[in-house]
A and B are shown apart, each in its own frame.
Chain A
Amino acid sequence: MRQIERLAEMPEAGPAIEAVGIEKRFGHIRALDGASLAVRSGEVLALIGDNGAGKSTLTKIICGALAPDGGELRFWGRPTAVASIRHAQDLGVETVYQDLALAPDLSVAENMFLGREPLMRRLGGLVPALDRRAMRARAAEALAGVGISLGSVDRTVRELSGGQRQAIAVARAVMWARSAILMDEPTAALGTRQTAIVYDTIRSAADRGLAVVVISHDIPKMLSLADRIAILRQGRTVAQERAADLTLAQVVTLMLGGNGREEAA
């Protein structure tokens, strides 16, 4: 397939994450029908496609939230069946879900550590307990690191605005990511200033050596922010190009169909 050939031409080390010919059906709906992408460490890949193109489904398969019906995932070139979200987390992959996946009744700190809480031992090491002090401190630090201040990390998520919630989800992913971050429309609920913060965060995460996949409908911004663009149409990857080689018009045509494919080549 074309995009894979292109990847092979790349001079640097191989991609950190590669999805090849992924298929996924929901009943008789073919959500993914040969979707592929590849993203290297230190690189931002923008995943672009119309609503229903399968972008969220593809990220969920990469992060272990869904099992694919076909195709292959590779991490650092090694074929890997991602068995669970835990498994992806162990590979250093973090995700900002489109629906954020925050527990509204838990505090900000609890949400940021959910599933991976630091423990301490009480009563001479006999009784395990959540190390809430460490959770608070590190959560506040991580939030500050992405330029967010909430007053108190003990507030429950329910009390926060949509923008604040999205910021927490981003900060959580950045805090835990060791190799890659997948962000499904991370700026959807944000105003302009907050969006700018998130874009800065994305760039600096990549600069720290993480592989970043970001889904967004802000195509002009993606063309300037991302290193490369992957375009999904009806569950199939129709193009994967260096952002610098694409124009807005080309992206839109590829996204919506027509003869964009030949033009892009």
Chain B
Amino acid sequence: MNGLTLDPPAAGPGPLGRALRSTPVAMALVVAVLILGFGALSPNWAFLRTSNLSTITLNVSVTMLLAVGITMILAAGELDLSIGANVVLSSVVGAKVLVALSGTPDEVRAAQYPDLALGVAAGIGAAVATGAAFGAVNGLLVTRLRVNSFIVTLGTMGIGTGTALVLTNGSNVPYVPRLLQTEFGVVRLFGVIPYPMIVVLAISGVMLYVLRHTRFGLYTLAIGSSREAAERAGIRTLPHVFRLFVLMGALAGVAAFLDLTRFATTNVGGHQTTALAAIAAVVIGGTSLFGGRATIAGSMVASLIPVILATGLVILGVQAFWQLIAVGMILIAAVAIDQRRRERLK
């Protein structure tokens, strides 16, 4: 009686078949096509210059980091709309701590930073701690009040932005040492890899490992796929979701500090569309909006697409309003083609 097959064993897709079916690979192809296309169209292949490609990675770094975090959140079937506000608030707190501890008010006003090392260390700590605390608030509201995370984070988005404005009166924190920018924020290793990107790649690598190879990652996907099934398997889903929001918040805190080094100031009026940009990149990269399926590599690759488009269209001299139209159309086309292709391969 043994060995009764319930279904003819499906010819499991080989490595090549799997790759062709995978959205990250498809999006990598889109990226390659865009790069080569813009290269060919741009004067003197200006788009393909190392300096340009390197700058694109610098410009994408913060979005990519946030997209990696959002991948984990979406994997669990949750959403975080507050990450832009979190970046703003965390950078404000980080900048204030950094400036306050780097020297006396008179010293920093005169661009003197006698205790810069202390200030920077404390500033990093303050930014990440603020981000994590912001995430913890989201996590508590989602898991304790059992309010949908879309609504919770829509609410905390406003609260975070408002708090940042209250703390700063709406103007950016002044006297952030420009050294952060000239020694780190826009500097490239070997003239190629921007320092912030190194941080982002390192963190993304860890997160990729966590999602693919650890219990934490598997439980995240299980919760997103079926919370009921995860609970029946003995997984404590609410603490897990809470930890995911704290993790997301901490990543937003890191992003906040990277932002600070990049611009040598805070960005209290900015990051209004950051959350949407990150979520869009994650979904375009192949992660399900409804949880259970997630790919960090896909998110990383897809987050490149809008920046490549923006850069390429400016280099081609496309007029600003047409850029908006072109970006929208290309994004929709890329995802539509990917979907058709996957359906055909099934």
Contacts and interface: CB of A to CB of B under 8 A. Distances in A.
Contacts of B1: 147, 196-197, 200
A84 B7 contact: no
Contact of A193 (B4, B9, B10): B4
A91 interface: no
Interface string B72-109: 00000000000000000000000000000000000000
A119 B214 CA distance: 8
A144 B1 CA distance: 11
A7 interface: no
Interface residues of B, number: 34
Contacts of B231: 65, 85
A29 B214 CA distance: 42
Nearest to A196: B1
Contacts of B44: none
Contact of A155 (B5, B12, B215): B12
B232 A151 contact: no
Contacts of A117: 215, 218
A102 B227 CA distance: 10
A155 B233 contact: no
Contacts of B9: 149-152
Contacts of A150: 6-7, 9
Contacts of B213: 129-130
A162 B12 CA distance: 19
A101 B229 CA distance: 4
Contacts of B221: 103, 105-106
Interface in A14-41: none
Nearest to B9: A151
Interface in B210-260: 213-215, 218, 221-222, 224-226, 228-235
A101 B10 CA distance: 24
Interface string A103-122: 11110001100111101000
B133 to A, nearest CB: 27
B226 A151 contact: no
B330 to A, nearest CB: 29
Nearest to B291: A105
A104 B222 CA distance: 9
Nearest to B293: A105
B7 A115 contact: no
A115 B12 contact: no
A86 interface: yes
Nearest to B217: A130
Contacts of B230: 103, 114-115
B191 interface: no
Which residue, A119, A149, A163, has most C-beta atoms of chain B within 10 A? A149
A264 interface: no
A25 B5 CA distance: 42
A115 B232 CA distance: 9
A194 interface: yes
B228 A155 contact: no
Interface string A136-176: 00000000100111111011000111011001000000000
B17 interface: no
A103 B292 contact: yes
A104 B292 contact: yes
Contacts of A129: 209, 213-214
A33 to B, nearest CB: 25
Interface in A22-69: 65
Contacts of A102: 226, 229
Contacts of A155: 10, 12
Given A115-B234, A152-B10, A144 B229 contact: no
Contact of B233 (A114, A149, A152): A114
A124 to B, nearest CB: 16
Contact of A148 (B4, B218, B288): B4
A196 B133 CA distance: 55
Interface in A190-234: 193-194, 196-197, 200
A97 interface: yes
Nearest to A164: B6
A12 interface: no
B291 to A, nearest CB: 8
A77 B256 CA distance: 59
B6 A99 contact: no
A185 to B, nearest CB: 15
B2 interface: yes
Interface string B1-24: 111111111111000000000000
For the complex of A and B, the 10 pairs showing the least CB-CB separation, nearest first, are: A151-B9, A105-B292, A115-B233, A105-B225, A101-B232, A103-B225, A114-B233, A86-B234, A115-B234, A152-B12
Interface of A: 65, 84-86, 89, 95, 97, 99-106, 110-111, 114-117, 119, 127-130, 144, 147-152, 154-155, 159-161, 163-164, 167, 193-194, 196-197, 200
26 contacts: A65-B231, A85-B232, A89-B234, A99-B228, A101-B226, A101-B233, A103-B221, A103-B226, A103-B229, A103-B292, A105-B225, A105-B291, A106-B218, A106-B221, A114-B229, A114-B230, A115-B230, A129-B209, A147-B1, A147-B3, A148-B4, A152-B10, A154-B12, A193-B4, A196-B1, A200-B1
Given A115-B230, A150-B9, 4 more contacts: A119-B215, A130-B213, A149-B5, A155-B12
